[in-house]
Amino acid sequence: MADDQDALNKIRQGGQLRVEGVSQLYHGYSRRFLAYFVKHRVSREHAEDLVQDVFVSVVRHAQDFRGETRIDAWMWAIVRNSLIDFFRRARPEDPFDEDDLIAVAEAQPGSQRDAGAGLEDCVRRAYAAFTEAHRDRAEVLQRVAFEDWSIADVAAMLKRTPGATREYLSQCRKKLRAFLEPCRDYLAG
Amino acid sequence: MHMPDRDDQDWMDALAGNTPAGADPLTIREAKAVRQAMLERREREAAPEFDAESGLQRLLFRLRKERLDGARGAHRYVALALAATIVLAVGLLLFLPKPGDEERPVFRGAEGPQILFADDPVKARDELKHDLEALGLAPRITPQEDATLVEAPWPERVEERHRALLERHYLRPPESRTLSVEVRKRP
């Protein structure tokens, strides 16, 4: 986080320092942003363009960032909005679920019903199916699980209030539990 | 409407690797099992192959093109620049040579070198030098403190092969008759 702040400060300075700051953030995050877009089934070519758009937006709005959240949460909000805008432009006629970032027409009901052999195997399959059906929710849970994100950080990414974010996370758990149903006996055992 | 509750919070805490006191053991067990599955998936999923250096150069080029490179002083001295422009315009009107007078000289503003970041600046310098030589442009290499300056005369009539060289190295067309590039180690 200190590195991110250092990079953002450089970007705000302009000139050669801006180049250095952009380079720092780009090398730190571009691959992950690309992976995010590709996971959401954006073509490789468009995904690379979207990564560029994200960093241009970071530079454009660097002065607006007030430090209410982590810088990476702020950037992930830009990433997510870029994806939403991309989907809306690609298929303006399709209804769109912003919670899951999939067109309603594309949503598939969970089909994982085979419990597999043992708890680990069952939960692995369940999580895989959940990720397929709710890619964006899985991304958010990843941030919570491995990157120490708070409710405020998730709220910044989703552009929601803390209360609405808690509800969103509660829904994430509820949807995941639907996929974990076949694993109930293993979990209870 | 489903209301988030203490159990949800405990589940989130356990998902993050903690063991909240007083939590339902089943909640903890479930969250830890999910965490393990997430960790395995995360380790298995390889990030896409990605040439970050080329992407960065494209980005820097685009920032320059969109005037987002924040050239120092550009926005701070707009009023001063405008005043200077007005004075210059008045001066020119007063002192413009009449038709038939000797052709007046054209002064071009100085342009700083373009910056090229590279993981291997020696290799990047050599590649640029090689490409310039292949076009018959004699580059001059000047070592500097933490960079290498590559300069080459730029033709007045730019052909497709010159444009291709610029594109290959993510450079913009020079405003003057000299292509000037500072090759630096990526920070």
Nearest in space to B58 (alpha carbons), one of B174, B141, B167, B182: B167
- DSSP classification of residue B147: E
On the question of pLDDT at B17 being above 50, the answer is yes
Q: Which of B16, B34, B66 sits opposite A176 (nearest CB)?
A: B34
In total, the C-beta contacts within 8 angstroms joining chain A to chain B are 136
Nearest-CA distance A106 → chain B (Å): 23
Query: Does the pLDDT at position B77 exceed 70?
Result: no
Q: How confident is the model at residue B145 (pLDDT cuts 50, 70, 90)?
A: confident
Q: Are strands A96-97 and A102-103 parallel, antiparallel or unpaired?
A: antiparallel
Three-class DSSP category at A69? coil
pLDDT digits (tens, 9 = 90+) for A48-61: 999 999 999 999 99
A-contacting residues in B 102-121 (Cβ below 8 Å): 115, 117
Q: What is the CATH class of A1-90?
A: mainly alpha
Total residue count of chain B as it appears in this document: 187
Domain boundaries, chain A: 1-90, 102-189
Chain segment B78-132, per-residue pLDDT in tens:
556 666 777 777 777 766 666 655 544 444 444 578 888 887 888 889 889 988 9
Quote the ipTM score.
0.76
Which contiguous run of DSSP H or E holds residue A59? helix A44-60
Q: In terms of CA atoms, which chain A residue is nearest residue B35? A: A145
A3 contacts on B by Cβ (under 8 Å): none
- For chain B, the domains span 6-44, 52-98, 111-187
Given CATH 1.10.10, say whether it is the number of domain A102-189. Answer: yes
Is 80 exceeded by the pLDDT of residue A112? no
In this prediction, residues B32-39 reach a mean pLDDT of 94
pTM over 0.90: no
- pLDDT, averaged across chain A: 86
Nearest Cα neighbor of A5 from A84, A72, A59 is A72
Which tokens sit at A184?
């109930």
